[in-house]
């Protein structure tokens, strides 16, 4: 038996959040034929079905992200399973949008849902991490992950979720590298386009208003009549020069 647990926060308020991509993934799997309607058990919404000839329990913990491990751990103990029978699907800030990675074990990377899973289930479960990108600064992370995906994100998000659902049997068969290939093919061109898209050229600076020329430009403009100084040392010197010419 395999538990596939998507991580997220319960309630309509959070449904479209980047932090809820794990919920979105198991929702996509549940919509495929052979899975029961969602019901409540183990502090979670669960759906039972079968993939590749093996029983599968889909889970969406309803304990809020920070306590996700309570629900998954309860189900794991009920069915007398180990961490090796769990696949967790969740958002990853350190992966570009549309990218996916899967691994066995590892650190939590600051993800509170994963911290909770580690505490209640051990660390030796498989982790399907779905990239959502990083906002660029630590202080922006909270609002970013609890913000909804933009409309333009659907161009890669929908194909990614569909590919996870279409190839979920690979999770049961431990065909992780083949699954990554399938996901990359589903969104590869979109992900590559985003990664290689050239930055928009900066707008050309507007010419300054022709209110007047700089003193340097005035000095270079030989056609401009020069106004002689009327006082000061320069004025005295010019007077002497011109008076000599007139005497000659």
CATH architecture assigned to 2-196: 3-Layer(aba) Sandwich (3.40)
User: Residue 59 — pLDDT band, cuts 50, 70, 90?
Assistant: very high
Domain regions of the chain by residue span: 2-196, 217-247
Taking CA atoms, 116 is separated from 68, 137, 208, 222, in Å, by 6, 24, 59, 79
Q: Is the pLDDT of residue 89 over 60?
A: yes
pTM over 0.85: no
Please confirm, yes or no, whether 111 is among the known catalytic residues.
no
Looking at residue 246, its pLDDT comes to: 45
pLDDT digits (tens, 9 = 90+) for 119-174: 999 999 999 999 999 998 889 999 999 999 999 999 999 999 999 999 999 999 99
From 19, 111, 134, 215, active-site residue: 19
Pairwise CA distance, residues 160 & 219, whole Å: 65
Quote the radius of gyration of the chain (alpha carbons, Å): 33
Mean pLDDT, residues 53-60: 96
Question: Across all residues in the chain, what is the average pLDDT?
Answer: 83
Which residues face 41 on adjacent strands? 44
Q: Of 65-69, 208-212, 231-235, which has the strongest mean pLDDT? A: 65-69
Pairwise CA distance, residues 165 & 157, whole Å: 12
Pairwise CA distance, residues 58 & 109, whole Å: 24
- Secondary structure in 3-state letters for 95-116: CCCCCEEEEECCCCCCCHHHHH
């Amino acid at each position: 038996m395999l538990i596939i647990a998507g991580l997220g926060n319960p309630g309509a308020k959070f449904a479209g959040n980047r932090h809820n991509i794990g919920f979105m993934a198991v929702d996509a799997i549940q919509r495929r034929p052979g899975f029961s309607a969602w019901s409540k058990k183990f502090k979670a919404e669960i759906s039972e079905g079968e993939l590749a000839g093996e029983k599968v329990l889909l889970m969406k913990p309803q304990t809020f992200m920070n306590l996700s491990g309570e629900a998954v751990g309860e189900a794991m103990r009920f069915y007398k399973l180990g961490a090796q029978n769990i696949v967790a699907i969740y958002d990853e800030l350190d992966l570009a949008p549309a990218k996916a990675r899967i691994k066995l074990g590892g650190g939590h990377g600051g993800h509170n849902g994963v911290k909770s899973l580690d505490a209640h289930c051990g660390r030796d479960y498989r982790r399907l991490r779905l990239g959502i990108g990083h906002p660029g600064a630590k202080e922006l992370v909270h609002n970013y992950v609890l913000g909804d995906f933009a409309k333009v994100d659907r161009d890669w998000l929908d194909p990614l979720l569909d590919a996870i659902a279409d190839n979920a049997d690979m999770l049961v068969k431990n065909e992780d590298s083949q699954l990554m290939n399938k996901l990359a093919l589903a969104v590869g061109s979109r992900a590559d386009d985003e990664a290689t898209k050239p930055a928009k050229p900066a707008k050309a600076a507007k010419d300054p208003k022709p209110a007047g020329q700089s003193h340097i430009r005035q000095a270079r403009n030989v056609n401009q009549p020069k106004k002689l100084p009327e006082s000061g040392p320069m004025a005295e010197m010019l007077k002497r020069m011109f008076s000599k010419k007139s005497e000659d």
